[in-house]
A and B are shown apart, each in its own frame.
Chain A
């Protein structure tokens, strides 16, 4: 059944989006986005700030409807969030009044899973992210890195096919970020999830990905899709290889002019 195997987990066709701008005229932030993600693939999306990365993930998650184009999951159109997709937000979006285990079980609670079943499933994923001993802690008692692990466990607990991650490590310090990248790759190997991961850091994008999608500046469109042919499993040493650094340099060349333009726009706007 080559047909089933080759079917995309996620398919975006000609997705475009415009927000209502300040003066009332539309602000186009995404244009003509088309790409497929294969089952079990790890795809990262890079682009300057304001290139519409968050908007794109929110469209895929069905939190907002695109103004044009369509998103298909397993070849089907879906109407509302909450099915095969799980979102890991950029900011830590844990509920401060729930302890860690109840936060991880939150999605299961919403879907009507009995409390005890939800807790035992949550415990499993808490262990997967290495926080088995912190079930009774509250989010404000954890470090930023630990909170993002809980976020990840919460997203995994509802057993999605696809994880959508919006710059989840952006707020972490450099060392913690490296460790989290390694953890994420391990969890990806162990669970076989399809992952779509947004970042503005090129080395992170290359390190994690099977393929990197480079977006142009606003309105974001697909500038190029780069396959990363670095062997798996990857580790810290991967980042020191010339191949790795060549990929990063190539991506930088791709988006440099956009980043500079965005930078100039922003400085001009702030004057």
Chain B
């Protein structure tokens, strides 16, 4: 069987990829540290990694870091989860009811293409500074990729699979449950993955315009104060969260659709 050699090649690829990531990380760390310590002596525009992590540590001890993480985290969880739930429902509905989709989809496409940073101030004016405007901004950022992908997952279903199901006497509901939904699952997970980046961008945007705490807020104020170690602490936290969530979702995507690899 070709099974053995396939999976062997996969793990080989995976292993050497990990090695490449590790190696480039080591290089980055060394270069950054050397730059920060010996080349760029101006603390107002750059900081060596050791200072950044030192700062993160003291902020963590004082509880300041936790305050920001909590403020951003709560908004992210609510906004992102709601975007997934509503996005999946909307996307599936639009794909299953082409008549509605016909009217709605062009507008969704236009909104998807609109830079959300332009809409953020509107939400702040409408909902005031605070949690609800933050959630709204994060929601609107994450909603579109999930909706579009869910609809695509339904629409891209192979016609033959639907016919096979109908041929066995499946009802419409059974076709949806046993063919259309399983087919769209990997698309939905891919949409969730794309939405992570946009939702985190939403966190920063929302906190610049309408917040008194949170990672975005922390980044913004340390930039104004030229406090580079604090600024990079925020950036690293965001980047780390994004990478972690996206790689988990990429794994899930592979898991739910091994045939697409």
Contacts and interface: CB of A to CB of B under 8 A. Distances in A.
Interface in B159-206: 160-161, 163-170, 174, 178-179, 182-183, 185
Q: Is the interface of B mostly helix, strand, loop or mixed?
A: helix
Contact of A140 (B168, B185, B259): B259
Interface string B11-24: 00000000000000
Contacts, number: 65
Interface residues of A, number: 26
Q: Is the interface of A mostly helix, strand, loop or mixed?
A: loop
B178 A110 contact: yes
A63 B163 contact: yes
Interface in B205-261: 256-259
A138 B258 CA distance: 9
Contact of B165 (A61, A85, A91, A110): A110
Given A80-B169, A106-B168, A97 B163 contact: no
B161 A82 contact: no
A87 interface: yes
Interface string A79-97: 0111101110101010111
Contacts of B3: 141
Contacts of B170: 82, 110
Contacts of B161: 93, 95
Contacts of A86: 167-168
A89 B160 contact: yes
Interface residues of B, number: 23
Nearest to A164: B167
B58 interface: no
B166 A81 contact: yes
Pick from A81, A83, A85, A110 the residue with the most CB of B within 10 Å.
A110
A138 B257 CA distance: 11
B169 A82 contact: yes
B163 A82 contact: no
A97 B167 contact: no
A93 B158 contact: yes
Contact of B164 (A83, A93, A97): A93
Interface of B: 1, 3, 158, 160-161, 163-170, 174, 178-179, 182-183, 185, 256-259
**5 shortest interchain CB distances as A-B pairs:** A82-B169, A107-B168, A140-B259, A96-B259, A93-B160
